[in-house]
Amino acid sequence: MSARHDAARSAEAQGGLLTPVVILAAAGAVAVFSATAPLAMEQAIPPHFLRHGAALLLGAGLVYATSHVPVSAWRALAAPLYVLSVVALVATLGLGRSAGGAQRWLVIPGIGFGFQPAEIAKLTTVLLLSVLLARKDGRAEVTGRQFLAALGLAALPAGLCLLQPDLGSAVILCALAGVMLLVAGARISHLALPAVIGGAAVAAYIAVRPYAWKRWVGFLDPWARASTEGFQLVQSFVAFGRGGLAGVGVGDGRQKLYYLPEAHNDFILSVVAEETGLLGVLVILGAFVALMIAGLRIALAARDRLSLLLAAGTTILLTLPAALNVAVVMGCLPTKGLTLPFLSYGRTSLLVACLTVGILLSVARPPGRAPRKRRA
């Protein structure tokens, strides 16, 4: 009876997670097609959409495969995967490809396939932090050694991201470490000093980096600099304003016609807002909220501490960048170059998001039955 109850509860949890993921993935496919159609010139199907669709199919396979990996396997794989991601970040600084003023892409020789190691580093950091903080050693709270080690594990890839430069990924990595420490039992007062130091470091970074300073200035008063630093944010506001309640219709948006830079990447929600209006944006936001609730339910029902931390960490990894992206396109935060999970065009981001969903599903799976002993 208990096994049947566990199976039913697991199926409910998996359904609650997969439903918003499918909604977001489907909405992303439509949005990418619409946003990249003007870039296709005379081609019937935009090449960006074909690449996004191929990544989506591969991601579906990764979700299925990863969901069958036992939680115990992630304990063994966490450290090697983290080391590989850090090595890839280091290699990006010397061998990476530059785009948009940042050196974030690493291209595999002979294949021509490029990926962003920073996206992978976020997931591997969550895995290793989960393993590290799962060791209680008979204590209810996080030990001082665990606390410092967790900060160091996040600071290493975050520092490498800053050198690219990629402030958004660095902020995400540090925020992941802070939230996971809270979940593991650390006190908020213990995180106050690292938070102050991190905030001061971000302020200093903005002050010495011209591109970051321009983004900050454009955020403070975008309308006064509508043709320069505030151009992208103003065009996003125009897209939201034109969308109104129900939108102008899918495919009929104007801001994607070379008015809104990076319409298919960081500002894909602006395209959704213009073409489907407030109702479409609420569907997207509602799907992310449902995803967060499903992930937290899986964490609360976890069988052990490692499963709890894995579920909480992966849920944060999926929803925190989404919240920051939404805040950016609505003018609540300066632009940071963060994609919207499942919606923005970007194969690395999409595949990592699918891997993250697979790990969440593996945590939600009921434990396998122990083999029966044969009688002599």
The predicted structure's pLDDT at residue 151: 92
The predicted structure's pLDDT at residue 139: 56
Q: How far apart are CA 9 and CA 5, in angstroms?
A: 6
pTM equals 0.91
Q: In degrees rounded to 5, what are phi and psi of residue 97?
A: -100, 135
Residue 100 has pLDDT above 70, yes or no: no
Residue 176 has pLDDT above 70, yes or no: yes
Coil, helix or strand for 243? helix
Higher pLDDT, 373 or 47: 47
The predicted structure's pLDDT at residue 1: 41
Confidence of residue 357 (pLDDT cuts 50, 70, 90): very high
Mean of the per-residue pLDDT values of the chain:
87
Is residue 245 within 8 A of residue 277, CB to CB? The reply is yes
Give me the sign of the Cα torsion angle 4, 6, 9, 11.
negative
Mean pLDDT value across residues 180-198: 88
Lowest mean pLDDT, pick from 105-109, 214-218, 330-334, 366-370: 366-370
Look up residue 174 and give its two tokens. Answer: 């540090």
Residue 371 has pLDDT above 50, yes or no: no
Structural domain boundaries in the chain: 2-364
Whole-number percent of the chain with pLDDT over 90: 50
Lowest mean pLDDT, pick from 165-174, 183-192, 354-363: 183-192
The predicted structure's pLDDT at residue 137: 54
Q: Which ranges in 37-185 belong to alpha helices (H)?
A: 47-67, 71-95, 117-133, 144-162, 167-184
Closest CA to 175 of 317, 299, 311: 317
Q: How far apart are CA 55 and CA 242, in angstroms?
A: 31
Closest CA to 321 of 107, 173, 206: 173
- Establish how many alpha carbons lie within 13 A of residue 369's alpha carbon, considering only the half-sphere containing its beta carbon: 9
The predicted structure's pLDDT at residue 9: 66
Closest CA to 362 of 74, 22, 12: 74
Q: In degrees rounded to 5, what are phi and psi of residue 251?
A: 95, -15
Lowest mean pLDDT, pick from 17-21, 138-142, 241-245: 138-142
Peptide bond into 165 cis (omega under 30): yes
In the block, residue with structure tokens 């060791």: 135
Residue 84 has pLDDT above 50, yes or no: yes
The predicted structure's pLDDT at residue 10: 66
Confidence of residue 136 (pLDDT cuts 50, 70, 90): low
Residue 373 has pLDDT above 50, yes or no: no
Confidence of residue 110 (pLDDT cuts 50, 70, 90): low
Q: How far apart are CA 362 and CA 62, in angstroms?
A: 12
Q: How far apart are CA 52 and CA 350, in angstroms?
A: 8
Look up residue 366 and give its two tokens. Answer: 């009921």
For 311-349, write each residue's pLDDT tens digit: 999 999 999 999 999 999 998 988 877 889 999 998 899
Confidence of residue 257 (pLDDT cuts 50, 70, 90): confident
Mean pLDDT value across residues 127-134: 93
* CA-CA-CA-CA dihedral for 80, 84, 86, 88, to nearest 10: 180
Contact residues for 95 (Cβ-Cβ < 8 A; gap 6+)? 106
Amino acid identity of residue 89, one-letter, is L
Residue 140 has pLDDT above 70, yes or no: no
Q: How far apart are CA 191 and CA 63, in angstroms?
A: 34
Distances (CA, A) of 266 to 182, 314, 376: 29, 21, 65
Look up residue 348 and give its two tokens. Answer: 């690395």
Q: How far apart are CA 231 and CA 39, in angstroms?
A: 20
The predicted structure's pLDDT at residue 365: 81
Residue 27 has pLDDT above 50, yes or no: yes
Mean pLDDT value across residues 218-226: 86
Is residue 235 within 8 A of residue 270, CB to CB? The reply is yes
